[in-house]
Amino acid sequence: MPKASHHDLRFAFRELLASGSCYHTASVFDPMSARIAADLGFEVGILGGSVASLQVLAAPDFALITLSEFVEQATRIGRVAQLPVLADADHGYGNALNVMRTVIELERAGVAALTIEDTLLPAQFGRKSTDLISVEEGVGKIRAALEARVDSALAIIARTNAGVLTTEEIIVRTQSYQKAGADGICMVGVKDFEQLEQISEHLSVPLMLVTYANPNLRDDERLARLGVRIVVDGHAAYFAAIKATYDCLRQQRGQQHKSDNLGATELSHTYTQPEDYIRWAKEYMSVEE
């Protein structure tokens, strides 16, 4: 079977957006996982920013990974992927000009689509990691992303955090990004179908939801009717890999009967050492005037 080109995969992703169905992403984090996902019949994969931070740096999701590191991982996946891969490009690694660079590099890496979010990153000391930039700055980033792409098949998806906004604010933001030319709108934090219905009736572009398996949003047919084409349930595959590595090495060292048999979430917390980063942030970023 001939290998699909990057343009072919982008076109395939466009077909998913134009369909009347809802598709769940496979979390892909290296070439092997991308091949497995394609072989199992997944229609689309996603390289998450938080997963890339774990995979490349063993660091928590504190916006520590650089564009070049993220692109390197995306490139490794892009060399072998035979399913469209959507890249979580965070905030574009800076301002609108940085977003242009991000799009250029990720397009060369072979991704089929990417999300640009309006989160204020990296988070300022003492501020919530869910603070958002202004709508105007978010619009500027989307317009810059569209200007930077060469292959028009590459999908640029605007992402916002619906969990920290009122429904009215969500509608204003998402309509603004749609008007700016975004190929789709991604939302994290949508509470339930009632809220989704209120938002979706104001939008005409395809929708993407990051649900983390929210039980209030588990009806694929209903999601599809409301324009949702892509659903991200989370990144269970990568956390399962962490757990499998831990269990295998424990057994190899003859420690399988120890009482500290940690779960995947506990393992991630233990080995990313977030307390160190929090302490460093307080020590080096807490500026007293």
Q: Does the annotation list 88 as a binding residue?
A: yes
Contact 182, 158 (CB under 8 A): yes
Q: Does the annotation list 50 as a binding residue?
A: yes
Q: Which tokens sit at 79?
A: 């060399």
How many residues are given for the chain? Answer: 289
Separation of alpha carbons 97 and 193, rounded Å: 36
Contact 170, 160 (CB under 8 A): yes
Separation of alpha carbons 77 and 84, rounded Å: 11
3-state SS string for 229-288: EEEECCCHHHHHHHHHHHHHHHHHCCCCCCCCCCCHHHHHHHHHCHHHHHHHHHHHHCCC
Q: Which tokens sit at 112?
A: 């089929």
Q: Does the annotation list 235 as a binding residue?
A: yes
Closest Cα to residue 202, out of 229, 168, 231, 236? 168
Cβ density class 87-113: b for 16+ within 10 Å, e for less = bbbbbbbeebeebbbbbebbbebbbbb
Separation of alpha carbons 73 and 219, rounded Å: 33
Separation of alpha carbons 94 and 100, rounded Å: 10
- Feature table: binding site for Mg(2+): 88
- Feature table: binding site: 50, 88, 159, 235
- Feature table: binding site for substrate: 50, 159, 235
